[in-house]
Structure 1
């Protein structure tokens, strides 16, 4: 452009930086910003906010915080988006929540009103650390300040209570969500289904699946994984295997945990043929079993005097790559833990 006597505007530069961020190339965004400054193209507040995002994406949160401090020196007023960017970054950092809460207070002192993005980010950060009481207090503050909790807010709380094993409160959050006139989405249903399946309440979980389908939502990989976990909790590996096959037929890829809990359940039930079938599928999908799973599986085979059944694993793709020959002998117990 400069070679033809044309100079970029801040708006065109912002488009480029925004595109780099969408492509998850924050380093390009920052490099372009430096070139932009070298060419004396003055940034605006949107440019600075995007550069803050880029720095946070690269883990340079301290640099982003410095940029926030310097904004008035550049002639810009800090915006809610400026603070939200930094709040999100500190929420991802371990032990960053105290800084987050201070940023929110500073934001309010500067006359800026926290919006639903601010509150939802803080609720997520608190829930991630298991600080549910504080998270609920922030939600109450939202209401007082006239910011309505949305589906994301409730999904965060529901998922966190399920993770903590408090499914009763998770269900109460769901009821509160419905009373507020909000519709449950697939994330909501999957969290509730997982909570029930973790307790082996597969019948109630199946009712939620029916409710999910009635709402014209389609089960995804997380739905199937939760249902498989539920059947494994009930020591019903055959039904879990049916669900695994249905999951693959629907085009979803089981993850490591789904395979491992199914292999573990077959092994506990001394159905080693079933465990081998699942392990073969796992290997063919290039998913490597860890030492704990291999030890459990081969320990069961050894005690049942069925170690010969594992011979078929050597002929499977990735079988010799992911399972050392020593596992086919009793010497595997002497493998040093890494």
Structure 2
């Protein structure tokens, strides 16, 4: 395989920071949120300390055991509830140790997932050693998961030490093991070590995969070593077993977009299409880099050319592009492109606006998302329930349930008929803010008002472990 390093210095062309100054809206806490928090019955619920039911004492009948293989208790909880997750992980470890001591073996898939969940806690290797000491046989997949976890935390040297230790325990690395390390070494610019690892792969008879080449191309291009990245790409076509993909081209296209070299961008896009590599979301995000470099019109012309080559309808194509950009953190370029896209015949619909609203909230521009709704209303476009729901869920997920409830209240005042999804989003928003008792109470009230079905109520209660036990309504003081 082509050596990673050549004599040319890395190229750099940092993008200027783009100032984003959203307007301020809703400076005061909304009426509905305040009224919920200050009603006597809600305060009483919130005052009750959360009592955790520990899984430390298990009954053999609680979890399945078949042919000596046991099932681990679930450790997944609401994404924001870190304390509960820590406790459940601890319970899962205790249960695993308890069952292993009794001579049982864990389900391998579950054990692997638990190892992955524990990587950041420095407990993964201890867990594997416990399993191995009691006659279990952690396989290469388990150790690859640990390698991934260590590299994800930028503990590459520790990952290398574990990698070197594997043959001594009769676990032999495969191409996936090498790929994990190559990605991290490349991202840190440790080219000599990466080259030695590639040479070792060759000596061991481990053939590189398309993923191996793509990792190398991405690492080299992101460090400005574009000539070496192109050499790797060309080498892929010299054999008969590998086939380049869009992910092989995207890092090179991204590099040339950052360098404002539009002819080169077009050249490699043409090569992609000639080699029957369809553009994927990474391709569109690469092209969006041109917007950040002040070349919005050039980016649009490239997108329009890709659309014409594939013969996609205007509305379908650009709705998809905007969705991709917003979901991958490029909402600002999506807005920059929207003017040219609209002039080409694209008509934004409720879905397009919802993508933009969600994207802005996801990127921390909540007030700009609210401004979209204001602008739409000012221009005689009546936002629908889908647009409001997108705004509500976006605000909830970024920790602004107070604003979400204010938007919801305004929505009702203007005569919009909220649907079950909108209500469920509000409940989830309260969960995200770790107001689980309040979420449970709101959920029960919504069910009593017949705006959330029994099935939805039960699903939300189960998903987020919400209490929906009967509560006696008191007269507010």
The alignment's TM-score, normalised by the length of structure 2, stands at 0.48
**Contact (CA 8 Å) 2:322, 2:352: kept in 1 or not?**
no
Query: Which of 120, 143, 146 is the matching residue for 2:170?
Result: 146
- Counterpart CA distance in 2 for 1:252 and 1:140 is 39
Measured against aligned partners, the alpha-carbon deviations of 1:111-167 in whole angstroms (never above 9, x if no partner) come to 545442332222122111111111111112113333322211111101122233434
Aligned-residue CA RMSD (Å): 4.0
- Using the TM superposition, give the Cα deviation of residue 238 of structure 1 relative to its aligned residue in structure 2, in angstroms: 2.9
- Counterpart CA distance in 2 for 1:172 and 1:188 is 14
Work out whether 1:240 is the aligned partner of 2:271: no
Identify the residue that residue 77 of structure 1 maps to in structure 2.
Answer: 104
Measured against aligned partners, the alpha-carbon deviations of 1:70-96 in whole angstroms (never above 9, x if no partner) come to 4358x64336x64x7435324245723
Q: How does 1:156-175 map to 2 (within 5 A)?
A: 156-175=180-199
- Counterpart CA distance in 2 for 1:72 and 1:109 is 9
Measured against aligned partners, the alpha-carbon deviations of 1:175-212 in whole angstroms (never above 9, x if no partner) come to 22222221111111110111121133333223222322
Moved more, 179-188 or 276-285: 276-285
The alignment's TM-score, normalised by the length of structure 1, stands at 0.65
Count residues with an aligned counterpart: 276
Work out whether 1:275 is the aligned partner of 2:272: no
**Contact (CA 8 Å) 2:119, 2:146: kept in 1 or not?**
no
Query: Which of 282, 301, 312 is the matching residue for 2:343?
Result: 312
Work out whether 1:110 is the aligned partner of 2:110: no
Work out whether 1:88 is the aligned partner of 2:146: no
Measured against aligned partners, the alpha-carbon deviations of 1:25-79 in whole angstroms (never above 9, x if no partner) come to xxxxxxxxxxxx79xx972224x2xx33x94688865564454244358x64336
Query: Which of 289, 293, 302 is the matching residue for 1:264?
Result: 289
Counterpart secondary structure, 1:274: helix
**Contact (CA 8 Å) 2:178, 2:197: kept in 1 or not?**
yes
Higher RCO (CA 8 Å, separation ≥ 6 residues): 2
Moved more, 228-237 or 62-71: 62-71
**Contact (CA 8 Å) 2:326, 2:356: kept in 1 or not?**
no
**Contact (CA 8 Å) 1:115, 1:147: kept in 2 or not?**
yes
- Shift of the 161–215 alpha-carbon distance from structure 1 to 2, 3 Å rule, reads farther
Query: Which of 141, 145, 159 is the matching residue for 1:121?
Result: 145
Query: Which of 234, 246, 249 is the matching residue for 1:221?
Result: 246
Work out whether 1:287 is the aligned partner of 2:322: yes
